[in-house]
A and B are shown apart, each in its own frame.
Chain A
């Protein structure tokens, strides 16, 4: 953590950090003409770019958004990979790939008119979703968002279940009563998310607190987007978590846009993770296209929480590579932004690393993709053939 650096040192010793952390200045005169006593600490400066998106730096001061420095991304760190076995890295990679391949299929099915309602995809977000869940035990309570398909896969949801959801089948995890990736199961400690994002932050915190009351060492983890960081529940829940020193992790998937609203119109701080200090917890901003950095950040937070050292706020910066939903052409995204991000695709970056380290080769990758394709096609056919709802089932299940 680099809280010190980000806060620009102490009140008396002004030392602007790489993030534009501000200097201490004398308080301005009030309207009465009398200067207030003592210095003021300027917050880290936010840098806005054309199109209203805010420049974001990671903990080391590297620009990681709205589009990363340089045309080609750096190789992932061998040092960070040391914490994980080859099998673990390959498992993470497979989940990321499976997430991408299922979503590719979903796009086709949506265009064929086989999926009702909206489709919200997580392209660009696979590293965050998979890495976060991979650091948890299967009994750690989570709420996984609608763009976190990879996280659902880590938690054990199958392609068949996912497609039953999309086809709104009677026997789908949500019984045909709720959409897409809102699927939930108490057996899997995986709560069904809701559409007003941010509202599941206090609920997931409540899961962690409730299990702690029962003497269990569980860690609660949930996600939110950059958009929902403006919601009261974000602040209320982080404040509760800080006061209670709860075993809780919030990952903000900062993908640059809340529907069409750029980050510059959403918050005035330099980074969302800057807010962590206000809740008395550590905060960190990581490159959301670097799966090893996310694994490392979440693992650190999980270990902290499990030891009883309290909550962590993690901001993972990436780009939403599709529209808000598939009907949205995202014409509001500044020209060139999506192209710049495409070079930082989290799956490509990870595969390049795995191949350069000889953990994966093209033959193995092709074989895996063929296996995934077979699994997905089988799941689609099976799920599509499942029975639909009968209308009167709409009245069932209102009460437990």
Chain B
């Protein structure tokens, strides 16, 4: 047991999988000698060699396409998008190839695409997006978004071992800001299982990724006001844990859904639709959501701060739902 940052725990998970299974390899832009734009793979080239840590030309569609082909031939590729934003250049390979292979002719595509995502880093419109909802609308893909070092390690292992294409959204704001004790050695976290990050009785916040931390911050403030918030971290978005959502809504009868991605057709819409369809009679208040506004991610600090959720915005929504 040692204290690890999010990025260290993620790197540990990757390294352990590469040691455990010779078919695991990585490909992406600047991941070898440079160690990746965020240094997730720092030292990997020396440890595993250029055959398994493959620097590629700059072309996301070919990176993902090559990953798909090699996966079908028995390898387990982990492809890095330098920024999640750039996956748009490889979109077709994921949607029309990776997601449909098994359905169309029975070929499993065991691969992982790592997507450093998220704002709050003053990265502007091309280095800050949270595009997970694009892929949650695509049957055949799996989507995970860990919020803690433990989850980062456990989910990268589960993603690599999965027989399907898994999109792994790692939040770059959390890389070096979040740390906690992580058990040594091997553990995987089942894809599709949520985790209650804070138990509570009055209002449920259903969230994932970096918003877990802002939600916990809001919960702390609200506790002082006498509102006991339960924070449910979905961790996986496709498939997502409907049982956990049902459990928390039946318990608190009030829910707020929070994500950093923009509002319209964001993942909150799916969670809210599920609650309304399946849990309507358990609700004591309308379900609210807190999200970024419907705009590209802006660059300047005042604009980005306005654009994104924060603990105050989350707390305000919870108060409203609690008071209904």
- The answer to whether A202 and B163 touch across the interface, beta carbons within 8 angstroms, is no
B53-65 vs A, CB cutoff 8 Å, 1 = contact: the mask equals 0001101011011
- The answer to whether A202 and B107 touch across the interface, beta carbons within 8 angstroms, is no
- The reply to whether the CB of A183 lies closer than 8 angstroms to some CB of chain B is yes
- The reply to whether the CB of A392 lies closer than 8 angstroms to some CB of chain B is no
Q: How far, in Å, is A46 (CB) from chain B's closest CB?
A: 27
- The reply to whether the CB of B247 lies closer than 8 angstroms to some CB of chain A is no
- The answer to whether A202 and B164 touch across the interface, beta carbons within 8 angstroms, is no
Q: How far, in Å, is B169 (CB) from chain A's closest CB?
A: 19
Which residue of chain A is the closest to B140 with respect to CB atoms?
Answer: A398
- The reply to whether the CB of A60 lies closer than 8 angstroms to some CB of chain B is no
- The reply to whether the CB of B301 lies closer than 8 angstroms to some CB of chain A is no
Residues of A within 8 A of B65 (CB): 199-203, 205-206, 233, 236-237
- The answer to whether B70 and A210 touch across the interface, beta carbons within 8 angstroms, is yes
Q: How far, in Å, is B67 (CB) from chain A's closest CB?
A: 6
- The reply to whether the CB of A170 lies closer than 8 angstroms to some CB of chain B is no
A375-400 vs B, CB cutoff 8 Å, 1 = contact: the mask equals 00000000000000000000001111
- The answer to whether B104 and A398 touch across the interface, beta carbons within 8 angstroms, is no
With A191-B72, A194-B97, A399-B164 as given contacts, are A232 and B66 in contact (CB-CB < 8 Å)? no
With A243-B57, A399-B164 as given contacts, are A206 and B102 in contact (CB-CB < 8 Å)? no
Q: How far, in Å, is A178 (CB) from chain B's closest CB?
A: 4
The CA of A232 and the CA of B65, in the complex, are separated in Å by: 12
- The answer to whether B70 and A173 touch across the interface, beta carbons within 8 angstroms, is no
- The answer to whether B103 and A177 touch across the interface, beta carbons within 8 angstroms, is yes
- The reply to whether the CB of B46 lies closer than 8 angstroms to some CB of chain A is no
- The answer to whether B61 and A400 touch across the interface, beta carbons within 8 angstroms, is no
Q: How far, in Å, is A192 (CB) from chain B's closest CB?
A: 4
A182-208 vs B, CB cutoff 8 Å, 1 = contact: the mask equals 111110000110111001111111111
With A177-B103, A213-B75, A398-B102 as given contacts, are A196 and B51 in contact (CB-CB < 8 Å)? no
Residues of A within 8 A of B56 (CB): 240
- The answer to whether A206 and B68 touch across the interface, beta carbons within 8 angstroms, is yes
- The answer to whether B66 and A205 touch across the interface, beta carbons within 8 angstroms, is yes
Residues of A within 8 A of B106 (CB): 175, 184-186, 397
B290-317 vs A, CB cutoff 8 Å, 1 = contact: the mask equals 0000000000000000000000000000
Residues of B within 8 A of A208 (CB): 69
- The reply to whether the CB of A19 lies closer than 8 angstroms to some CB of chain B is no
- The reply to whether the CB of A145 lies closer than 8 angstroms to some CB of chain B is no
Scoring A201, A211, A233 by chain B CB atoms within 10 A of each residue's CB, the highest score goes to A233
- The reply to whether the CB of B222 lies closer than 8 angstroms to some CB of chain A is no
- The reply to whether the CB of A266 lies closer than 8 angstroms to some CB of chain B is no
Residues of A within 8 A of B107 (CB): 184, 186, 191-192
List B89-107 residues whose CB lies under 8 Å from chain A: 92-93, 96-97, 100-107
- The answer to whether B105 and A211 touch across the interface, beta carbons within 8 angstroms, is no
- The answer to whether B69 and A205 touch across the interface, beta carbons within 8 angstroms, is yes
- The answer to whether B97 and A236 touch across the interface, beta carbons within 8 angstroms, is no
Residues of A within 8 A of B164 (CB): 399-400
- The reply to whether the CB of A239 lies closer than 8 angstroms to some CB of chain B is yes
- The reply to whether the CB of A53 lies closer than 8 angstroms to some CB of chain B is no
Residues of B within 8 A of A201 (CB): 65
Which residue of chain B is the closest to A216 with respect to CB atoms?
Answer: B73
Scoring B64, B65, B100, B142 by chain A CB atoms within 10 A of each residue's CB, the highest score goes to B65
- The answer to whether B73 and A210 touch across the interface, beta carbons within 8 angstroms, is yes
The CA of A113 and the CA of B57, in the complex, are separated in Å by: 48
- The reply to whether the CB of B139 lies closer than 8 angstroms to some CB of chain A is yes
- The answer to whether B69 and A192 touch across the interface, beta carbons within 8 angstroms, is no
Residues of B within 8 A of A191 (CB): 69, 72, 107
Residues of B within 8 A of A247 (CB): none
- The answer to whether B75 and A210 touch across the interface, beta carbons within 8 angstroms, is yes
- The answer to whether B62 and A236 touch across the interface, beta carbons within 8 angstroms, is yes
- The answer to whether A206 and B104 touch across the interface, beta carbons within 8 angstroms, is no
- The answer to whether A399 and B140 touch across the interface, beta carbons within 8 angstroms, is yes
Other A-B contacts than A192-B101, A196-B92, 20 sampled, CB-CB below 8 A, are A182-B104, A185-B105, A185-B106, A186-B72, A191-B107, A194-B96, A202-B65, A202-B69, A203-B97, A204-B69, A206-B68, A206-B69, A207-B73, A210-B69, A232-B59, A232-B61, A233-B62, A236-B65, A397-B102, A399-B140
27 CB < 8 A contacts A-B: A182-B104, A182-B105, A184-B104, A184-B105, A184-B106, A186-B107, A192-B101, A194-B100, A199-B92, A201-B65, A202-B93, A203-B65, A203-B93, A203-B97, A206-B68, A206-B70, A207-B69, A207-B70, A209-B69, A210-B73, A233-B62, A236-B65, A237-B62, A397-B103, A399-B164, A400-B109, A400-B110
Q: Which 4 A-B pairs have the closest CB atoms?
A: A206-B69, A202-B65, A210-B70, A206-B66
